[in-house]
Chain A
Amino acid sequence: MNLSSKKSAISYLSHNYELYLFLLPTIIYIIIFHYVPMYGVQIAFRNFIATKGISGSEWVGFAHFQRFFNSYYFGELIRNTLTLSITSLAAGFPVPIIFALLLNQLTNIRYKKIIQTVTYAPYFISTVVIVGMIIIFLSPRTGLVNHLIRFFGGEAVFFMSKPEWFRPLYILSNIWQNTGWGAIIYIASLSKIDPTLHEAAIMDGATKIDRIIHIDIPGIIPTVVIILILNLGSVMSVGFEKVYLMQNSLNSQTSEIISTYVYKTGMLGAQFSFSAAVGLFNSVINFILLAIVNKIAQKMSDVSLW
């Protein structure tokens, strides 16, 4: 290092040291609450005993993973996790897109605003309240839905205790809650489509449906791809909170997923190492999925996350 570069380094720091001070709290936080737990992930390969600390605990290699892979609930957990997340995505992903396309064609601007205001609102309701509402509405004796079923001559259905109802309820309530909010990004990208395209198409005699198919849909494809990648990448991390809250001993056959299992064995059962192994397995799969999907998207179009 010669004198002038030393001098410029000093001058750089004297002008910009504040930027590093600005970043300091965030970096310390990220190290403590994100990187230290990554280091702590090694308890998945040890028999963790709190008093011995992480590095003092006995190394057991893949023993916990083997136990998990060989256990009789392994197949069920993987199946439940994948089925729930893939069906949620398949059913839930197209809805905001269709909703945005239809809303975009609405000629009455005030009505459009009203619909938007109402449909955004459920996004802000907490998971606890959503699940509470599901339970109240579906109550066999007093619930709205069962009153309606009885009104049309049917028999009350015990929705919450039937394993076959868990997934439809989870997915439908997700659609109810997230469609409006999910549509915002598509509505915004529809509004960026060049209006002269539409004008030219109208001149050529294109109907509204023609224009949706040939102008609107191609126009929002890049946005759709990005959102799809983001969603596919989190296929294995289907939300813990809602599943956990909707779960009970009667529907656990379909509602037990990896994250609820990690919580139960780790937090409630105090099997820290085993549960950390299950969690690590989940995040590794998740990471691989995200990388694969991103690669595919990169190949097929120019859109990618990194």
Chain B
Amino acid sequence: MSLLSRTKSDIVFDWVNNIILTIILLLVLYPLYFVAIASISDPVLVSGGEVWFVPRKVTFEGYGRVFNDPNIISGYKNSLVYAISGTSINLAMTLTAAYALSRKNLIGRNVISFFLAFTMFFSGGMIPTFLIVNNLGMVNKIWAMIIPNAVGVWNIIIARTFLQTSIPRELYESATIDGCSHTKFFTSIVLPLSKALIAILILFYGVGHWNSFFNALIYLRDTKLFPLQLVLRGILIQNQMELSMVKDQDLLAERQNIAEIIKYSLIIIASLPLLVLYPFLQKYFVKGVMIGSLKG
């Protein structure tokens, strides 16, 4: 009897569980799916609420107009430059600092760790930080997009934990007997053994740079330097459309519809680099999150 009721209860549970999870899946997926189909459907039908499940009257006009807009192209280029150069500096600084802190024989290790960690809990705030960047002459320069975020303390801690747990001590000890310097050991042994760590750091830093909007908002004035996110904000949120995108000969009503389809196409294009990286990096997610949760 008890065996029977148990299986019965579990069967009901499995059914309900499957239904709940499927609803969650659809709730997360549908908005993304809708943006994708709306970006290639006739804008009149999209705005009229007639596109729901499949694209209708397929057109690539939205994409065409997006690719013809000089601001978006320059924003895209700027964002790529900021993300690639920023992430490179992030990686170099994070990995070297984390390696040094992972060496137990480093004198002053605790003091330096505290010196870094303290900044995670207390900061000078927006205005004093802005004044420093301003005093250094970085405002409205590409440097303002890279140097003020040159390294993240949290990521140093993640990297240090990873190196401590995944590079065996004996490896370093035997290397030093052979007269191997730290630099040599770091470049020829630590780095090749840290592919997972490097992938995680590229993911965290790269996504951070690509999606960053705040630094550009406060440090940049010149539209030529604007990263994609700031251009996107103008179009998606403040509803500013350039004349080059919405042509004069378009009728007013049509113009509004075209403005809508441009937004959908833009969302897809803006998320493209992440969509491309996503499958490659997905297997490292769990590792990245888990290292971060370890203490010490």
Give A contacts to B, CB under 8 Å: 12, 15-16, 18-20, 22-23, 25-27, 29-30, 32-41, 43, 99, 102-103, 105-107, 111, 114-115, 117-122, 124-129, 131-133, 135-137, 141-142, 144, 147, 150-151, 176, 179-181, 184-185, 187-188, 205-209, 223, 226, 233, 240-241, 245, 259, 262-263, 266-267, 272, 275-276, 279-280, 282-283, 287, 290
A122-B32 contact, Cβ under 8 Å, with A41-B124, A131-B237, A279-B127: yes
Bound-state Cα–Cα, A151 to B49, Å: 10
The 8 A CB mask of B266-278 against A (1 = contact, 0 = none) is 0100110010001
Q: Does B17 contact A (CB under 8 A)?
A: yes
Bound-state Cα–Cα, A78 to B25, Å: 36
- Which residues from chain A contact B286 at a C-beta distance below 8 Å? 184, 187-188
The contact sample of 30 A-B pairs, CB cut-off 8 A, is: A16-B105, A19-B100, A20-B100, A26-B156, A30-B115, A32-B136, A33-B148, A34-B124, A39-B128, A102-B17, A105-B13, A115-B21, A121-B28, A122-B28, A124-B271, A124-B278, A125-B211, A128-B236, A129-B267, A132-B267, A136-B260, A136-B263, A179-B24, A185-B289, A205-B3, A206-B6, A208-B13, A209-B9, A272-B127, A287-B121
Bound-state Cα–Cα, A276 to B207, Å: 29
Q: Does B177 contact A (CB under 8 A)?
A: no
Residue pair A126, B213 in contact (C-beta under 8 Å)? yes
- Which residues from chain B contact A180 at a C-beta distance below 8 Å? 28
Select from chain A the residue with minimum beta-carbon distance to B30: A144
- Which residues from chain B contact A223 at a C-beta distance below 8 Å? 293
Tell me the minimal C-beta distance from A294 to chain B in angstroms: 10
- Which residues from chain B contact A129 at a C-beta distance below 8 Å? 232, 236, 267, 270-271
Residue pair B10, A241 in contact (C-beta under 8 Å)? no
Residue pair B236, A131 in contact (C-beta under 8 Å)? yes
Tell me the minimal C-beta distance from B79 to chain A in angstroms: 10
Residue pair A133, B267 in contact (C-beta under 8 Å)? yes
| B53-61, B63-71, B91-99, B243-251: which lies at the interface | B91-99
Residue pair B27, A176 in contact (C-beta under 8 Å)? yes
Residue pair A188, B290 in contact (C-beta under 8 Å)? yes
- Which residues from chain A contact B151 at a C-beta distance below 8 Å? 25-26, 29-30
In the complex, which of the residues A26, A128, A272 contacts B237, with contact meaning CB atoms closer than 8 Å?
Answer: A128
Bound-state Cα–Cα, A44 to B207, Å: 34
Select from chain A the residue with minimum beta-carbon distance to B7: A207
Tell me the minimal C-beta distance from B276 to chain A in angstroms: 11
- Which residues from chain A contact B124 at a C-beta distance below 8 Å? 34, 36-41
In the complex, which of the residues B31, B93, B97, B256 contacts A133, with contact meaning CB atoms closer than 8 Å?
Answer: B31
Select from chain A the residue with minimum beta-carbon distance to B181: A18
Residue pair A208, B9 in contact (C-beta under 8 Å)? yes
Tell me the minimal C-beta distance from B48 to chain A in angstroms: 8
Bound-state Cα–Cα, A184 to B291, Å: 12
Bound-state Cα–Cα, A6 to B103, Å: 22
Tell me the minimal C-beta distance from B16 to chain A in angstroms: 9
Residue pair B274, A124 in contact (C-beta under 8 Å)? yes
A263-B126 contact, Cβ under 8 Å, with A99-B24, A115-B25: yes
Q: Does B131 contact A (CB under 8 A)?
A: yes
- Which residues from chain B contact A245 at a C-beta distance below 8 Å? 213, 233, 237
Select from chain A the residue with minimum beta-carbon distance to B293: A185
Tell me the minimal C-beta distance from A117 to chain B in angstroms: 7
Bound-state Cα–Cα, A268 to B34, Å: 37
Tell me the minimal C-beta distance from A161 to chain B in angstroms: 14
Q: Using a CB-CB cutoff of 8 Å, which residues 1-60 of chain B contact chain A? A: 2-3, 6, 9-10, 13-14, 17-18, 20-21, 24-25, 27-29, 31-32, 34-35, 46-49
Residue pair B207, A240 in contact (C-beta under 8 Å)? no
- Which residues from chain B contact A205 at a C-beta distance below 8 Å? 2-3, 6
Bound-state Cα–Cα, A173 to B121, Å: 27
Select from chain B the residue with minimum beta-carbon distance to A290: B121
Q: Does B191 contact A (CB under 8 A)?
A: no
Which among A27, A37, A290 has the greatest number of chain B C-beta atoms within 10 A? A37
A115-B24 contact, Cβ under 8 Å, with A27-B115, A267-B218: yes
A126-B9 contact, Cβ under 8 Å, with A176-B28, A188-B289: no
A19-B103 contact, Cβ under 8 Å, with A127-B213, A132-B267, A262-B127: yes
Tell me the minimal C-beta distance from A173 to chain B in angstroms: 10
In the complex, which of the residues B14, B31, B263, B290 contacts A105, with contact meaning CB atoms closer than 8 Å?
Answer: B14
Bound-state Cα–Cα, A147 to B45, Å: 12
Tell me the minimal C-beta distance from B132 to chain A in angstroms: 5
Residue pair A29, B150 in contact (C-beta under 8 Å)? yes
In the complex, which of the residues A34, A119, A132, A188 contacts B123, with contact meaning CB atoms closer than 8 Å?
Answer: A34
Residue pair B116, A30 in contact (C-beta under 8 Å)? yes
A184-B285 contact, Cβ under 8 Å, with A30-B115, A30-B116, A136-B236: yes
Select from chain A the residue with minimum beta-carbon distance to B9: A207
Select from chain B the residue with minimum beta-carbon distance to A294: B121
Bound-state Cα–Cα, A38 to B115, Å: 13
Q: Does B129 contact A (CB under 8 A)?
A: yes
